[in-house]
Structure 1
Amino acid sequence: MPAIDQLTRFETGQGFIAALDQSGGSTPKALRDYGIADDRYSTDEEMFDLINAARTRIVLSPSFDSSRILAAILFQGTLDRQIDGTEFARYLWEKKQIVPILKIDKGLLEEQDGVQLMKDIPGLEQTLADAHGRGVFGTKERSVIHSANADGIKRVVAQQFEVASTVLAADMVPILEPEVSIKAPDKVEAEEQLKAELLNGLQELGDVKVSIKITIPTVDDFYADLIAHPKVARVVALSGGYSRDDACARLARNPGLIASFSRALLDGLTDQQDDAEFDRTLNDSIEVIYRASVD
């Protein structure tokens, strides 16, 4: 089983999850938003060096601590990086008491039946063994639902639980992430179908716990039964394209649901800011997301 101190912290601690898992496809835009133009790098290695420098700056900020940050989701390449001579994941837990989580999906297939399933994840067992050995607590794996297509949603949830079973076998806690697009024309119906499938899948689990990451629901408190479920360690929400203010306002109307934000967390941070301005901007962002997660 995962280390009990990490599990207890993850299940019962106050705060939210910082998603620092920008990968190949999302990194150029993340860097542009951070004030680093495309001409600042010419190779993938240089690109990842720059995004890692941004992540490191965030983690080293005094505002980024366990009083408000519960966990952080990392890109796989980040596991090989170090902060002050300590592996990134171990630094988070040992120095900051922030639970490290690994993004394991490799992107999405083309849309079919109103959904995008995850691509195959080659070498998953070895990835999990390596991550577990580096002190990583759990994983996150994303698929996307674009419309209320019952067959498509069934396949999304089945795939999520299939991957989760492999993660559980590696003594790690999976975060299932069947995102419902905020642009779905029938979002409410899609969420109803999704919740029913998730509850069915939870019934099939043994004596284990998973976490679930969802889009903030249209109907307030809609996922209360998932939040209270004995086999769910935590239910967390992505911002999903909502502005930070809108996402936080919606989140605050859902007791027990906590944020797992990426873009909404990093909004306003730039490479050009001095340390004082950078920390002030990050602190303001963390505080508003924290309040929405605990109020």
Structure 2
Amino acid sequence: MVDAKMLNKMSSAPGFIAALDQSGGSTPGALRLYGVSESDYQGDEEMFRLVHAMRVRIMSAPAFTGDKVLGAILFERTMDGDVDGEPVPSYLWEKRGVVPFLKVDKGLNAEENGVQTMKSMPDLDTLLIRGREKGIFGTKMRSVIGHADKAGIAAVVEQQFQVARQIIGQGLMPIIEPEVSIKSPTKEQAEAILRDEIAQQLDKLPAGETVMLKLTIPTVADFYAPLVAHKSVIRVVALSGGYSTVDACEKLSHNHGMIASFSRALAENLRVTMSDADFNASLAATIDQIYAASVNKS
């Protein structure tokens, strides 16, 4: 069973989810945005040490609390790390009031039928048990949709829900993330197929089983309203998908019931060279901006 206090917060409190889950492939880009180039480190271990330091700086900032940040999605190495000697998941929940999630996918397969499904996860149960023992509330897993191909999108959604049922079985809350690329030439058509496929899978869930959805901000405002209202959906969150903070927040503000789960847009104004005062002030302003777009709808 998922933690009842965390579930209550995640299902009803105002706010958004921070995505701090860049993995091996996306970490260099996150560090570059932060002002750390590849020439500043040698090898993966040093790279992960630097990105963990960046995440700790974010998580320990005064504005990063459960008042506006409902949850945080973690990379596995971040889950296994600490903040001032305390394990990250317990630090987030007990010290900051932020619900911890874990990214569990292992990357993407090559594109087929206009989509990229998730690579196999043979050790998923082991990871889920370890995460649960560390205080993780839920998980996140990402697929990518590049074109409005019905067979491809159906395969993505079926795989997502199949793994979600495995996650539910381990007492965790799955965030299902079939990302429609904002660069897709058939984005709006892909979203129509995706909405129907997700609705069909939601209708098949046994009574009492619930999921969260993480979706690209749709081309048509409130297009995902039927999913937001579905009895088996705890929350629908939006990914920034490469949009700037300003653009992502503007688009999100027109989608009722959707809250943010931003990664790049959360950290785009943060730099390693900032003083702590400037860093904290910049992050606080961005948190306020994302919170407003998640809560105040136009």
TM range (shorter): over 0.9
Alignment partners' CA distance in 2, 1:199 and 1:266: 32
Rounded to whole Å, the distance in 2 between the matches of 1:79 and 1:236 is 21
How far apart in 1 are the matches of 2:188 and 2:79?
A: 37
Distance in 2 between the 1:196 and 1:248 partners?
Answer: 25
Amino acid at match of 2:284: N
Cα shift at 1:122: 2.6
After TM superposition, give the deviation of residue 174 of structure 1 in Å: 0.2
Alignment RMSD: 0.7
Within a 5 Å distance, the mapping from 1:51-66 to structure 2 comes to 51-66=51-66
- The residue type paired with residue 29 of structure 2 is K
Partner residue of 2:223?
A: 222
Deviations 1:156-212 (A, max 9, x none): 000000110110000000000000011111111110100000000011101211000
Query: Using the alignment, how far apart are the partners of 2:28 and 2:147 within structure 1?
Result: 28
Q: Shift of the alpha carbon at 1:39?
A: 1.7
3-state SS of the aligned residue for 1:152? Answer: helix
Question: Is 1:231 matched up with 2:267?
Answer: no
Report percent identity of matched pairs: 51
Partner of 1:100: 100
Counting only pairs closer than 5 Å after superposition, residues 29-40 of structure 1 correspond to structure 2 as 29-40=29-40
The reply on whether 1:9 has 2:15 as its aligned counterpart is: no
State the SS of the aligned residue for 1:214. Answer: strand
Task: Give the CA deviation at 1:261.
Answer: 0.2
Matches of 2:148 and 2:79, distance apart in 1: 37
Give the aligned partner of residue 199 of structure 2: 199
**Shift of residue 88, structure 1, vs aligned partner:** 0.3
Letter in 1 for 2:279: F
Q: Does 1:245 align with 2:237?
A: no
In structure 1, how many angstroms separate the alpha carbons of the residues matched to 2:114 and 2:79?
34
> Offset at 1:38?
1.1
Amino acid at match of 1:187: K
Within a 5 Å distance, the mapping from 1:128-207 to structure 2 comes to 128-206=128-206, 207=208
The reply to whether residue 79 of structure 1 matches residue 79 of structure 2 is: yes
Number of residue pairs matched by the alignment: 295
Q: Which amino acid aligns with 2:233?
A: V
Deviation at 1:101, TM superposition (A): 0.3
| Secondary structure at the counterpart of residue 212 of structure 1 | strand
Aligned to 1:276: 277
Q: Which moved more, 1:32-41 or 1:131-140?
A: 32-41
Task: Write the letter of the residue equivalent to 2:74.
Answer: L
* Shift, 1:103, TM fit: 0.3
Q: For 1:113, what is the secondary structure of its paired residue?
A: coil
Letter of the 1:100 partner, please give it. Answer: P
Deviation of residue 271 (structure 1)?
0.7
Cα deviation, 1:245-287, whole Å, max 9, x if unaligned, reads 1111110000110000000000110110000000011011111
Report the counterpart of residue 89 of structure 1 in structure 2: 89
Is there any run of 5+ residues in structure 1 with no aligned partner, and where?
none
Distance 1:7 1:290 in 2: 19
Match of 2:264 in 1: 263
| Structure 1 residue 83 displacement after superposition | 1.0
Deviation of the 1:289 alpha carbon: 0.5
Q: Structure 1 length as normaliser, TM-score? A: 0.99
Runs of 5+ unmatched residues, structure 2: none
